Amino acid sequence: MLKPIRAVIAAALLTIATYAVAAELRGDHPDTYVVQKGDTLWDIAGRFLERPWLWPEIWQANPQIANPHLIYPGDVVSLAYLDRVAAAQVQPGPRAASPLTGVPLSEIEPFLKDLRVVDAFEHLPYVVGLEENRLRSAEGQVAYVKGLPDAQPGQRYAVVRPIQRYTRLDRTACCDLFHRDRLDFRGKRNLDFEQMWTNAVVPDHGHELLGYELMRQGTGTISRGEVGGIEASTFVLDSNGREVRVGDRLVPVEAQPYDLQFFPHPPRQQFEYGRARVLAVADMLRTGGPRDVVALSVGARDGIDNGTVFSTWHQGDTAPDRVSKGPWDRSGDSFARGDRVRLPDEYAAHLMVFRTFENVSYALVMEGIRPVQIGQELKHPDAPY
């Protein structure tokens, strides 16, 4: 009866000696812990482990521990040890609240629902006009859609807007360059002040398309198709959405097209330096911190899936060697490459991927000691430098 409510921290801590070494237990852990509302699996493991992303591996090594995603606020978890073997059991708490998740879903839900990355969007049906020639339409109002010749009344669609284009410049001399282009109402490249992301660096030409980012504006229902010589379908907008404008695109409504449970794990491969970067920070100019969402330059084709954990690093500068190459008052720009010293990269934070597309993925900043910035390098979570 107790198995369904055994917590992830029990999975991480009630373990044999072999895995205790890998888990790197903190020395100040209490004998018991009461799970609190608002906790996440990462947060709980992070209180007692040096590397909280290891909890799934340890849990799987302990078959007596049930699904860690069935932990509830109020559960009392024993952390007591007796000769490196757990001696106590988990006590269940009330079941009034929802079980905990690996990450705070409230923080990422808007990005799960509202953002996607596609290879192309020009083929999608689009809003060609609005009732009474409005510039924008909202709840309960009508939009007219071109490109749905077979649409039937009652069919449901989501309205999406192409907002930016991600590209990559493949360079062999140093590292890849990444860029983000804002898009206008037609999805063409343009500067748009309504942008919620920002770019890394700007290549001149020869880029590879990573994808177009689409933002959901709302949903609606077809009320009339293209009948009687009319060349546009009538589309009624639902509530709880953003304003819709001419040029917005339509895609079929998906039933929960994303994961709700996440199992942290390191990336499956080591990337060439400069290949895996932070592309953008949501709602920020250039920096973010814990619980902020970032876009990454790697996706499913690179072996990235939901739950992949990275550490993000500020790239080390190249400092002029003024001691041996002086004089001290010499301008830094006048030092040649051979007269400069490459400084170490600096650790910033840990990220966990929560939604993956072919070439781009979204991640949540879990914890860190420095701001996460656009262009930072992504490495294995245990990378020492």
pLDDT digit string (tens) for 110-164? Answer: 777 788 888 899 999 999 999 988 888 888 899 999 999 999 999 999 999 988 8
pLDDT at residue 103, as a whole number: 67
Listed in order, strand segments (DSSP E) in 59-193 are 76-78, 81-82, 85-86, 115-118, 126-130, 142-146, 156-169, 177-182
pLDDT at residue 322, as a whole number: 77
**To which residue do tokens 């077979």 refer?**
150
Tokens linked to 296: 């990454």
- DSSP assignment letter at 203: -
**To which residue do tokens 């051979």 refer?**
338
H or E element, residue 63 = none
Span 264-308, pLDDT tens digits: 888 988 888 888 999 888 876 678 888 888 999 999 999 999 889
- The segment with the largest mean pLDDT, out of 34-43, 73-82, 175-184, is 34-43
What gap in Å lies between CA 382 and CA 269, rounded to an integer?
A: 13
Residue 353 or residue 177, greater confidence: 353
Helix locations, the chain, DSSP H: 8-13, 17-23, 41-48, 55-60, 105-114, 322-325
Strands 142-146 and 249-252: unpaired
pLDDT at residue 326, as a whole number: 66
- In this prediction, residues 54-82 reach a mean pLDDT of 60
Mean pLDDT (the chain) is: 76
pLDDT at residue 168, as a whole number: 77
CB distance 377 to 315 below 8 Å: yes
Q: Is the peptide bond before 327 cis (omega within 30 degrees of 0)?
A: yes
Work out the angle at residue 67's Cα, subtended by the Cα atoms of residues 382 and 349, and round it to the nearest 5 degrees. Answer: 25
Q: Which of 2-16, 190-204, 279-293 has the lowest mean pLDDT?
A: 2-16
Q: HSE (CB half, 13 Å, CA atoms) of 180?
A: 25
Nearest Cα to Cα of residue 203 among 174, 165, 176: 176
Work out the angle at residue 197's Cα, subtended by the Cα atoms of residues 140 and 220, and round it to the nearest 5 degrees. Answer: 15
pLDDT at residue 75, as a whole number: 76
Span 222-264, pLDDT tens digits: 999 998 889 999 999 987 778 899 999 999 987 766 666 777 8
- In this prediction, residues 97-117 reach a mean pLDDT of 71
The pLDDT-based confidence of 62 (bands split at 50, 70, 90) is: very low
pLDDT at residue 278, as a whole number: 93
CB distance 29 to 79 below 8 Å: yes
Phi, psi of 90 (to 5 degrees): -80, 140
pLDDT at residue 32, as a whole number: 72
The pLDDT-based confidence of 347 (bands split at 50, 70, 90) is: very high
Tokens linked to 330: 């010499």
H or E element, residue 320 = strand 318-320
**All domains of the chain in start order, with CATH:** 3-102 (no CATH), 112-252 (no CATH), 278-379 (2.40.10)
Strands 81-82 and 249-252: unpaired
**In 10 A of CB 256, how many CB atoms?**
8
Work out the angle at residue 325's Cα, subtended by the Cα atoms of residues 321 and 331, and round it to the nearest 5 degrees. Answer: 75
pLDDT at residue 84, as a whole number: 44
Length of the chain, please? 385
Read off the amino acid at residue 235.
F
- DSSP assignment letter at 253: P
Cβ neighbours of residue 38 closer than 8 Å, sequence gap 6 or more: 104
pLDDT at residue 174, as a whole number: 53
- In this prediction, residues 55-64 reach a mean pLDDT of 52
- The segment with the largest mean pLDDT, out of 42-46, 69-73, 305-309, is 305-309
pLDDT at residue 12, as a whole number: 36
Nearest Cα to Cα of residue 325 among 313, 337, 317: 337
Cα separations in angstroms, 210 against 1, 52, 78, 89: 49, 31, 47, 49
Would you give the end-to-end CA distance of the chain in angstroms? Answer: 46
**Position 40 pLDDT exceeds 60:** yes
- DSSP assignment letter at 325: H
The pLDDT-based confidence of 196 (bands split at 50, 70, 90) is: very low
Span 328-340, pLDDT tens digits: 667 767 777 788 8
